[in-house]
Structure 1
Amino acid sequence: MNISALQKERAKYQPKLPKSLVGAVKLVEGAKTQSVADQKDIEKLFPNTYGMPLITFEEGEVKKDRPAINVGVILSGGQAPGGHNVISGIFDGIKKINQESRLYGFLGGPGGLVDHKYVELTAEIIDEYRNTGGFDIIGSGRTKLEEEWQFDKGLEIANDLNLNALVIIGGDDSNTNACVLAEYYAAKDAGVQVIGCPKTIDGDLKNEMIETSFGFDTATKVYSELIGNIQRDANSAKKYWHFIKLMGRSASHIGLECALKTQPNITLISEEVADKKQTLEEIVEYMAGIVAKRAENGDNFGVALIPEGLIEFIPEMKVLISELNDMLAEGSETEKEFKMLKKSHRNEWVAGHLTDDSAKVFKSLPSGIATQLTLDRDPHGNVQVSLIETEKLLGEMVKTKLEKMKKAGEYVGKFGTQYHFFGYEGRCAAPSNFDADYCYSLGYTASVLISDGKTGYMSSVRNLTSPAEEWIAGGVPVTTMMNMEKRHGHMKPVIQKALVELEGAPYKYFVSKRGEWAFTTQFVYPGPIQYFGPSEVCDLTTETLKFEKA
């Protein structure tokens, strides 16, 4: 196939491994573990995989004549840079154990396991995808492995292929499902292990043992390059405010990391908004105040970063969305009545069926945004928040606020806007050296855990601000990350999402600097990801990790 000059060179890159994985490996078991919360409930649900010890790898003695192992791999959920290197690491790891080992990829995500759609991943296939972005080697999907019939269908094909283990590469929901699957197979003594790998560009799958999820580094570097380019344009043209929405529905890690890399004028952090119980009006006043202050200095331009999930963190908007979800629930009488109305009458009708406070908020929204809140729901019956153009909502409301300020003599500038949403641009980029190394190590780690008979573990590689050879590889029981949460009206065990820590070092540094970044122009232009050159340029970890480990 035709490949670019960069891809041809990147194919030659050999990812770096922790010292403990280079030769023979010895597994060292630590203390027994417990879940992050709801210990009794989680232990009851996972009697066979709860309380297992942490595992750390050390250099060991060579073991000869180890049996071949057959492994199935699944890519689950949204794409993240480095997935192909996880698969490469698994492949190389099991081949090192025994050249007769075989790797099978299930096509299109977890659905491939249930539907028995797979391909054997040979060296010829693997070599085409080393150090490349995307999940196109086998594809991904969002089928949730939650039902026993799915587990049983998966077991059928696992037995047909003589699989020793499944590796599920995914985010918090996917790894929750992996843990449930591991427990089910362990309870049946099915002989199929399940190992998870931490993936999500959103960065919300992290804890003491999982310092970062793979893909976060590359995606934030891609977004930061784009933000830097826009900042340079803004500083050149000096006539636009750029409102940039960034991925991150459940947490603001991407926005915070990009802010630390690029130093924009405004960065909203959803967790801060929720903590301070800020209203939409207060957020708009904050942003308009910065615009006006910069205008006093003759700077009628700037850049604002807005997390994708901001709307759901604003308390009054959260209440409004909840009321709308109930009102427009599929099959409800109100939904039927709503759909009978002319589109031009719908927003007025909706306002009349809300509580007074929510009606006031709804009426304050630009009509286009109000309409977006009433559009078709997602499969769970909820507002599709990712489709709400939050950047335009804030831009239009800031414009209206500034017009009032101008009439009152409180604003003297000009306000022009440009809108952007950076999402898919970062999900499939060629992985940075950091992600290429990290992902390869995660996959290799999975192969070692499998060869030692472990199940219900997630690959863990820590000490990530040090050179790769000093990274600490091992495994962490997935149950340690779990708590009970209400999902679709029922309490379920799920991996606890990691939000931006308002007491954490990265956020505190950001707060200490955002005032001067707001009113002066201190833009940083990171430029594109560098794959070749000095280590201090090419092997950088995220700003978040640097502050957390300082």
Structure 2
Amino acid sequence: MNISALQKERAKYQPKVPKSLTGAVKLVEGAKTESVADQAEIAKLFPNTYGMPLISFEAGEVKKDRQPLNVGVILSGGQAPGGHNVISGIFDGIKKLNPESKLYGFLGGPGGLVDHKYIELTADIIDDYRNTGGFDIIGSGRTKLEEDWQYDKGLEIAKDLDLNSLVIIGGDDSNTNACVLAEYYAAKGEKLQVIGCPKTIDGDLKNEMIETSFGFDTATKVYSELIGNIQRDANSAKKYWHFIKLMGRSASHIGLECALKTQPNITLISEEVEEKQQTLDEVVTYMAEIVAKRAENGDNFGVALIPEGLIEFIPEMKILISELNDLLAEGTDSEKEFKHLKKSHRVEWVSEHITPDSAKVLLSLPTGIANQLMLDRDPHGNVQVSLIETEKLLGEMVDTKLAEMKEAGQYVGKFGTQYHFFGYEGRCAAPSNFDADYCYSLGYTASVLISDGLTGYMASVRNTTAPADDWIAGGVPVTMMMNMEKRHGHMKPVIQKALVELDGAPYKYFKSKRGEWAYNTCFIYPGPIQYFGPTEVCDVTTETLKLEQAK
């Protein structure tokens, strides 16, 4: 492989791990668990994996004559920095238990399991990918496992390879799949275990036992470096407003973390917009008033951060999207009729089949955005909001609002815009020291859960603002995180997404400062991720975690 100087040095890095993972491990059962909501429904759907106890690790005695483990691993969904270290941790963990253990990687995501496409991951392969970004060791995919025949095809290859366990590395939907698989195999009396690992740069897979999803630390550091660079450019040229859309379709964790790191003039928090029941016009007015106020001081420049999923949190838009999802649910008569319409007739047809208020909103949107809402959905039935150019929509609407304000004598400045979308730039970056350590620990934790025969669990590593020695490793039943939600027009069990908590410490701190950041130029320039140097620079975690844990 042709590798850079940085890759050569990073290959030498030895991830730090909790003390409990450095020697023999004993599993300790904690309290029995229940789902976060809809307990009766979840318990009925998962009779074999519901109510299992929390698991923590303690130092134990070395067990001799451990049988080798054969483990399959799947990378599912979008990429996130650190995935290769999760795999490295699994590999080292099972090899330590027995050098004859084998790790198989299914190619291209869950589809590789169904199609029986895999490779054995040997030490030579693993060593080329330690501490690197990306998912290219085996690739990823978004195939949704939801049919019995898919589960059975997975079982076929698992039996052929004599697998003890599958480890699914993914976000909330992927780990929901892991939970369904675990229940299915347990119900059939099959030995195949299923373990999950919490991945998503969006940061919305978190709870009491999962403090952060891996990749969030690295991705927000990458975006914050870019935002800081743009802020410095804006402060130098003093003639542009930069509207920056940030990845994160269902929550504003990325935007909030980047705001705490860089202190831009405007940061929209989708969850706040929803709670205040703000209309699109009210959001635009808020932004325009900050632009006008800065212009009074001669500052015709600034930076605004916009969460990718904002559109879905504006109440009038959320209602519209919900009605569209019901109307165009897969397999319905209305969906079939819609598909046979000419594209030029679809907006009008849809507007006649939804409520008058939603029809008014739909007809007010640019044609491109209206078509996006109606046509493009991901495999989970969600509108692909990343394809909606929300930053340009808001920029154009702010420009129109400012023109009205200027005519009324309420604005005297100049307004020029530059647009950016930061998403893919952060998904495959070389993991920060935190993510390199955290991911390796998650993978090693998964190997310990497998070795004790557990299924339906997610690897958990907590106390992550402390030095890695003091991190707490263990396992949490996936059913503990689940609730019932409407998907494709039907109620489904899914892991509950964690949105920004408006009564949480990170948001409260941001709220106390945003007025100062809006009207003054308080930019912070974080610079690139540092891998070598003082621990307070290289091993620092997110502002979100520090505020949540008051450290």
Instruction: Give the alignment's TM-score, normalised by structure 2.
Output: 0.96
Hey, what's the Cα distance between the residues in 2 that align with 1:327 and 1:30? 45
Alpha-carbon spacing, 1:309–1:493, altered in 2? closer, same or farther (3 Å):
same
Alpha-carbon spacing, 1:413–1:351, altered in 2? closer, same or farther (3 Å):
farther
- In the alignment, which residue of structure 1 is the partner of 2:307? 307
Q: Does 2:415 align with 1:415?
A: yes
- In the alignment, which residue of structure 2 is the partner of 1:472? 472
Query: 1:343-422, aligned counterparts within 5 Å?
Result: 355-362=355-362, 364-366=364-366, 369-370=369-370, 372-373=372-373, 376-378=376-378, 383-422=383-422
Q: Could you report, residue by residue, the CA deviation over 1:438-475 in whole angstroms, capped at 9, with x for unpaired residues?
A: 00000000011111111111000000000001000000
Q: Could you say what secondary structure the match of 1:258 adopts?
A: helix
Q: Which amino acid aligns with 1:226?
A: L
Q: Which amino acid aligns with 1:195?
A: I
Hey, what's the Cα distance between the residues in 2 that align with 1:268 and 1:502? 13
Alpha-carbon spacing, 1:219–1:165, altered in 2? closer, same or farther (3 Å):
same
Contact 2:381 2:487 in 1 (8 A): no
Q: Could you report, residue by residue, the CA deviation over 1:342-381 in whole angstroms, capped at 9, with x for unpaired residues?
A: xxxx767876776543354345445654555455555566
Hey, what's the Cα distance between the residues in 2 that align with 1:182 and 1:355? 41
- In the alignment, which residue of structure 1 is the partner of 2:5? 5
Contact 1:462 1:472 in 2 (8 A): yes
Q: Which segment drifts farther, 171-180 or 145-154? A: 145-154
Hey, what's the Cα distance between the residues in 2 that align with 1:451 and 1:375? 46
Q: Does 2:132 align with 1:128?
A: no
Hey, what's the Cα distance between the residues in 2 that align with 1:484 and 1:374? 24
- Displacement of 1:332 in angstroms is 4.5
Alpha-carbon spacing, 1:482–1:375, altered in 2? closer, same or farther (3 Å):
closer
- Displacement of 1:152 in angstroms is 1.1
Hey, what's the Cα distance between the residues in 1 that align with 2:105 and 2:310? 36
Query: 1:407-446, aligned counterparts within 5 Å?
Result: 407-446=407-446
Contact 2:142 2:379 in 1 (8 A): no
Hey, what's the Cα distance between the residues in 2 that align with 1:220 and 1:432? 10
Hey, what's the Cα distance between the residues in 2 that align with 1:429 and 1:382? 26
Q: Could you report, residue by residue, the CA deviation over 1:209-238 in whole angstroms, capped at 9, with x for unpaired residues?
A: 000000000000000000000000000000
Query: 1:149-160, aligned counterparts within 5 Å?
Result: 149-160=149-160
Hey, what's the Cα distance between the residues in 1 that align with 2:481 and 2:323? 31
- In the alignment, which residue of structure 1 is the partner of 2:517? 517
Hey, what's the Cα distance between the residues in 2 that align with 1:249 and 1:271? 12
Q: Does 2:339 align with 1:339?
A: no
Q: Which amino acid aligns with 1:191?
A: K
Hey, what's the Cα distance between the residues in 2 that align with 1:392 and 1:159? 52
Query: 1:22-421, aligned counterparts within 5 Å?
Result: 22-324=22-324, 331-333=335-337, 336-339=340-343, 341=345, 355-362=355-362, 364-366=364-366, 369-370=369-370, 372-373=372-373, 376-378=376-378, 383-421=383-421
Alpha-carbon spacing, 1:354–1:52, altered in 2? closer, same or farther (3 Å):
closer
- In the alignment, which residue of structure 2 is the partner of 1:532? 532
Q: Could you say what secondary structure the match of 1:129 adopts?
A: coil
- Displacement of 1:384 in angstroms is 3.0
Contact 2:327 2:335 in 1 (8 A): no
Q: Could you report, residue by residue, the CA deviation over 1:497-544 in whole angstroms, capped at 9, with x for unpaired residues?
A: 100001100000000000000000000000000000000000011000
Contact 1:366 1:397 in 2 (8 A): no
- Displacement of 1:33 in angstroms is 1.0
Q: Which segment drifts farther, 318-327 or 222-231? A: 318-327
Query: 1:450-529, aligned counterparts within 5 Å?
Result: 450-529=450-529
Q: Does 2:549 align with 1:549?
A: yes
- Displacement of 1:489 in angstroms is 2.3
Q: Which amino acid aligns with 2:68?
A: A
Alpha-carbon spacing, 1:179–1:327, altered in 2? closer, same or farther (3 Å):
closer
Q: Could you report, residue by residue, the CA deviation over 1:400-453 in whole angstroms, capped at 9, with x for unpaired residues?
A: 000000000000000000000001000000000000000000000001111111
Q: Could you report, residue by residue, the CA deviation over 1:178-200 in whole angstroms, capped at 9, with x for unpaired residues?
A: 01111111122211111100000
- Displacement of 1:320 in angstroms is 3.0
- Displacement of 1:36 in angstroms is 0.9
Gaps of 5+ in 1: none
Hey, what's the Cα distance between the residues in 2 that align with 1:353 and 1:181? 38
Contact 1:74 1:107 in 2 (8 A): yes
Hey, what's the Cα distance between the residues in 1 that align with 2:4 and 2:25? 37
Hey, what's the Cα distance between the residues in 1 that align with 2:96 and 2:324? 56
Q: Could you report, residue by residue, the CA deviation over 1:470-490 in whole angstroms, capped at 9, with x for unpaired residues?
A: 000000111100111122222
- Displacement of 1:321 in angstroms is 3.2
Contact 2:228 2:527 in 1 (8 A): yes
Q: Which segment drifts farther, 218-227 or 327-336? A: 327-336
- Displacement of 1:264 in angstroms is 0.4
Alpha-carbon spacing, 1:182–1:362, altered in 2? closer, same or farther (3 Å):
closer
- Displacement of 1:309 in angstroms is 0.5
Contact 2:325 2:489 in 1 (8 A): no
Hey, what's the Cα distance between the residues in 2 that align with 1:406 and 1:518? 20
Hey, what's the Cα distance between the residues in 1 that align with 2:368 and 2:194? 46
Hey, what's the Cα distance between the residues in 2 that align with 1:372 and 1:62? 57
Alpha-carbon spacing, 1:374–1:194, altered in 2? closer, same or farther (3 Å):
closer
Alpha-carbon spacing, 1:531–1:382, altered in 2? closer, same or farther (3 Å):
closer
Q: Which amino acid aligns with 1:170?
A: G
Hey, what's the Cα distance between the residues in 1 that align with 2:98 and 2:255? 44
Hey, what's the Cα distance between the residues in 1 that align with 2:155 and 2:68? 19
Q: Which amino acid aligns with 1:6?
A: L
Instruction: Give the alignment's TM-score, normalised by structure 1.
Output: 0.96
Q: Count the aligned residue pairs.
A: 546
Hey, what's the Cα distance between the residues in 2 that align with 1:508 and 1:177? 34
Alpha-carbon spacing, 1:252–1:522, altered in 2? closer, same or farther (3 Å):
same
Hey, what's the Cα distance between the residues in 2 that align with 1:253 and 1:212? 11
Q: Could you say what secondary structure the match of 2:6 adopts?
A: helix
Hey, what's the Cα distance between the residues in 2 that align with 1:282 and 1:297? 24
Q: Which amino acid aligns with 1:62?
A: V
Superposition CA RMSD, Å: 1.8
Q: Could you say what secondary structure the match of 1:473 adopts?
A: strand
Hey, what's the Cα distance between the residues in 2 that align with 1:298 and 1:437? 46
Hey, what's the Cα distance between the residues in 1 that align with 2:104 and 2:193? 15
- Displacement of 1:146 in angstroms is 1.4
Contact 1:365 1:393 in 2 (8 A): no
Hey, what's the Cα distance between the residues in 1 that align with 2:178 and 2:549? 29
Q: Could you report, residue by residue, the CA deviation over 1:237-283 in whole angstroms, capped at 9, with x for unpaired residues?
A: 00000000001111110000000000000000011111110000000
- Aligned-pair identity in percent equals 86
Q: Could you say what secondary structure the match of 2:128 adopts?
A: helix
Q: Which segment drifts farther, 118-127 or 479-488? A: 479-488
Q: Which amino acid aligns with 2:343?
A: K
- Displacement of 1:40 in angstroms is 1.4
Q: Which amino acid aligns with 1:281?
A: D
Q: Which amino acid aligns with 2:205?
A: L
Q: Which segment drifts farther, 235-244 or 59-68? A: 59-68
- Displacement of 1:382 in angstroms is 5.7
Hey, what's the Cα distance between the residues in 2 that align with 1:324 and 1:59? 54
